[in-house]
Amino acid sequence: MGSDIYYLSIKAPINRRHLIHRSGCPFLPGREQRIFLGEFENDDDPANESRLLGMNSRKCSFCCSSDHEVQPSDAMHLISTIPEEQWDSALISGVN
């Protein structure tokens, strides 16, 4: 298993938890709206890193699920009509 680059969203959604994203996630915020966490071999280490930064966070349901088999590019047709700045809201609505 190779390592991936992980980021933490700066803006917390309604539930006040910052989302941890894997590089390439279609829900990954722009450069100004994220913090680089590092390169890790699993999804738990970036969560631990964000806690060390004092951030209340959770893993993105799309790109950081333990049973992740869908590639981010596979979901582009699902969100292609939603403006990028609304992707986090769309994900939250879809999960709720």
Count the neighbouring beta carbons within 10 Å of the beta carbon of residue 57: 19
What residues in the chain have per-residue pLDDT under 50?
A: 67-79, 81, 93-96
Confirm whether pTM is higher than 0.85: no
- How high is the pLDDT of residue 87? 60
- CA 60 to CA 52: how far, in whole Å? 18
Rounded to an integer, what distance in angstroms lies between the CA atom of residue 81 and that of residue 69?
A: 23
